[in-house]
């Protein structure tokens, strides 16, 4: 369970590591990559007779493909390697891989063949890997379109061709892999935006390269080991004051449900006392579902809480803006979500006050909210999610999660993380409010800001994943259903940490 977090490198980082390793590498990195990919692909071929199609490109990714094709030929499999570029222009290692494939008795074909009567056993994309920076067009785009139509496991080497390695953007058209074997380390584009829809199941083959030893990573894929130090048993000699007080501010007319969802999540995740400050003058004074919550008018909440969240159902009224301005000035860990972010985006002076805060600040924008905060737009944010999250974090001196497929967590010191839990069923009303409640609960219980953000984001998605495995979702999953499952998962992690010497 508590495996180390995997490093993530953009293309520039991978290239730097390769440049340091390659001069003394025996066997070559290309030979290692092709062999490792072939070993990974074997499991996809169980009970699948028939030929293997390998589409090879003009660069080193094509060379990886020829190494894989040679290994399968030597193992007795029928392999068709398609290659339509000029061999004289191949990089030296790739040219050698082509020559070795020919020496094994193979000969590439110059056009993509039609599928045999029984279909392909496996389709391999070795066209471009991590090297592509422009939209695919012409023959290569046609090949990818045809490969995507094949009724067989579709296997990508390093990166699905047509997928931007650093951002996860599709460059015109991209290979839709069912499985990807990536080399040396994870890349951002496999994990965020369009990456998960095109990479399928991802396996990392490190090729006997200690990436972190050559270049310390700034990015990591989120795993519970990142917040393992906080998973400690509660002392028997404790009381509700030991686990913090939190306040959720929001609940404008017609939107009280958002604030109550956040408050319920904070309560169910173990906060000692939870206040919900509601702007709606007709708001209920008791939550019948959770009477343990203390409901108050928003301007009557105690200020001496352990952590504060503002935004769920806040609205953009003058009263909401005044409440936000007052909250920013409190010396408490502060979570800003939803309309608190929209109000902040419209107030540069308040942004400067926020950036000067001494207490931790945590922001949970979706791409449209991030675009407003950056005086940009959703498309610009989505074009490079890691860069956008880091810029927002640096500007506002805050810990930021840019929500979406492969949520990006950015720290003001330049470190970043990508979370892999969660699924499309979470695209429903109230999910962000529940995340805010989970997050402020961990802050109130003393979790450091970075670990609280990583833990809440990972837990939120993991709870939805568990519900989906149990048949609750993805279609029709509600935010309320996630709360109880999140509580169960957190308690399970605590028990496992305790069993393992926590």
Binding site feature residues for (6S)-NADPHX:
60-64, 129-135, 158, 258, 313, 366, 433
- Written as one string, the DSSP assignment of 231-248 is --PPPSS--GGGG-EEEE
Name the token pair of 265: 């999540």
Same domain as 295, residue 269 = yes
Strands 122-126 and 294-297: unpaired
**305: in domain:** yes
Same domain as 60, residue 18 = yes
∠ CA 5-9-454, rounded to 5°:
40
**188: in domain:** yes
| Of 418, 405, 409, nearest in space to 474 by CA | 405
Same domain as 310, residue 273 = yes
pLDDT for res 483: 98
Other residues' Cβ atoms within 10 Å of the Cβ of residue 478: 17
CATH code of the domain in which 98 resides: 3.40.50.10260
Same domain as 405, residue 261 = yes
Same domain as 50, residue 146 = yes
Same domain as 284, residue 135 = no
pTM of the model: 0.96
Name the token pair of 455: 């833990």
Same domain as 182, residue 293 = no
**366: in domain:** yes
Name the token pair of 290: 């959770």
Which CA distances in Å does 35 have to 22, 29, 48, 71, 471? 17, 10, 20, 7, 39
Range of 211's domain?
7-218
pLDDT for res 26: 86
pLDDT for res 359: 98
Same domain as 63, residue 125 = yes
CATH code of the domain in which 299 resides: 3.40.1190.20
**2: in domain:** no
Same domain as 250, residue 207 = no
Binding site feature residues for AMP:
403-407, 432
Going through 51-190 in order, the beta strands assigned E by DSSP cover: 52-56, 79-82, 122-126, 154-157, 179-183
Same domain as 201, residue 326 = no
Give the number of domains in the chain.
Answer: 2
Binding site feature residues:
60-64, 125, 129-135, 158, 161, 258, 313, 366, 403-407, 432-433
Which residue, 195, 218, 241, sits at the end of a domain? Answer: 218
pLDDT for res 502: 52
Cα–Cα dist 189/130, whole Å: 10
Q: pLDDT tens per residue, the chain (502 residues)?
A: 678 899 999 999 999 999 999 887 789 999 999 999 999 999 999 999 999 999 999 999 999 999 999 999 999 999 999 999 999 999 999 999 999 999 999 999 999 999 999 999 999 999 999 988 899 999 999 999 999 999 999 999 999 999 999 999 999 999 999 999 999 999 999 999 999 999 999 999 999 999 999 999 999 999 999 999 999 999 999 999 999 999 999 999 999 999 999 999 999 999 999 999 999 999 989 999 999 999 999 998 887 899 999 999 999 999 999 999 999 999 999 999 999 999 999 999 999 999 999 999 999 999 999 999 999 999 999 999 999 999 999 999 999 999 999 999 999 999 999 999 999 999 999 999 999 999 999 999 999 999 999 999 999 999 999 999 999 989 999 999 999 999 999 999 999 998 887 5
**429: in domain:** yes
pLDDT for res 1: 62
**454: in domain:** yes
Same domain as 477, residue 409 = yes
Same domain as 259, residue 177 = no
Which residue, 198, 218, 238, sits at the end of a domain? Answer: 218
Q: SS in 3 state form for 399-431?
A: EEEECCCCCEEECCCCCEEECCCCCHHHCCCCH
Binding site feature residues for K(+):
61, 125, 161
pLDDT for res 24: 76
Which residue, 191, 218, 245, sits at the end of a domain? Answer: 218
């Amino acid at each position: 369970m508590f495996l180390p977090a995997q490093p993530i490198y953009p293309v520039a980082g991978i290239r730097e590591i390769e440049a340091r390793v390659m001069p003394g590498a025996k066997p070559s990195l290309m030979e290692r990559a092709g062999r490792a990919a072939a070993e990974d692909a074997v499991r996809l071929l169980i009970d699948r007779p028939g030929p293997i199609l390998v589409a090879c490109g003009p660069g080193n990714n094509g060379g990886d493909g020829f190494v894989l094709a040679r290994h399968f030929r030597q193992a007795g499999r029928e392999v068709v390697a398609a290659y339509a570029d000029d061999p004289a222009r191949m990089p030296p290692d790739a040219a050698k891989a082509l020559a070795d494939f020919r020496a094994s008795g193979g000969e590439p074909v110059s056009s993509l063949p039609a599928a045999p009567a029984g279909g392909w056993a496996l389709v391999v994309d070795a066209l471009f890997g991590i090297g592509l920076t422009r939209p695919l067009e012409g023959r290569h785009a046609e090949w990818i379109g045809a490969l995507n139509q094949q009724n067989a496991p579709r296997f990508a080497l390093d990166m699905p061709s047509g997928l931007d390695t650093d951002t996860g953007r599709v460059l015109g058209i991209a290979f839709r892999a069912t499985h990807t074997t990536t080399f040396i380390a994870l890349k951002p584009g496999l994990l965020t935006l369009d990456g998960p829809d095109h990479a399928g199941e991802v396996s990392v083959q490190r090729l006997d390269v200690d990436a972190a030893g050559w270049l310390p990573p700034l990015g990591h894929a989120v795993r519970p080991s990142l917040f393992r130090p906080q998973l400690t048993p509660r002392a028997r000699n404790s009381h509700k004051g030991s686990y913090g007080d939190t306040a959720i501010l929001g609940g404008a007319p017609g939107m009280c449900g958002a604030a109550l969802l956040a408050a319920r999540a904070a309560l169910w995740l173990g906060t000692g006392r939870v206040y919900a400050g509601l702007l709606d003058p007709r708001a209920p004074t008791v939550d019948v579902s959770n009477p343990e919550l203390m409901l108050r008018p928003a301007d009557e909440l105690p200020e001496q809480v352990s952590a504060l969240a503002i935004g769920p159902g806040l609205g953009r009224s003058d009263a909401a803006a005044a409440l936000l301005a007052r909250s920013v000035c409190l010396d408490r860990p502060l979570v800003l979500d939803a309309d608190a972010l929209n109000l902040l985006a419209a107030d540069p002076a308040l942004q400067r006050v926020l950036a000067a805060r001494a207490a931790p600040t945590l922001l949970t924008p979706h791409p449209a909210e991030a675009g407003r905060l950056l005086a940009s737009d959703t498309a610009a944010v989505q074009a490079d999610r890691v860069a956008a999250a880091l810029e927002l974090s640096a500007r506002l001196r805050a810990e930021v999660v840019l929500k979406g497929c492969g949520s990006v967590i950015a720290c003001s010191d330049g470190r970043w993380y990508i979370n892999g839990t969660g699924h499309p069923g979470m695209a429903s009303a109230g999910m962000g409010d529940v995340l805010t409640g989970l997050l402020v609960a961990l802050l109130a219980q003393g979790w450091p800001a970075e670990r609280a953000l990583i833990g809440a984001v990972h837990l939120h998605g993991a709870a939805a994943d568990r519900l989906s495995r149990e048949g609750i979702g993805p279609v029709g999953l509600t935010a309320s259903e996630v709360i109880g499952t999140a509580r169960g998962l957190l308690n399970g992690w605590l028990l496992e940490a305790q069993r393992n010497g926590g």
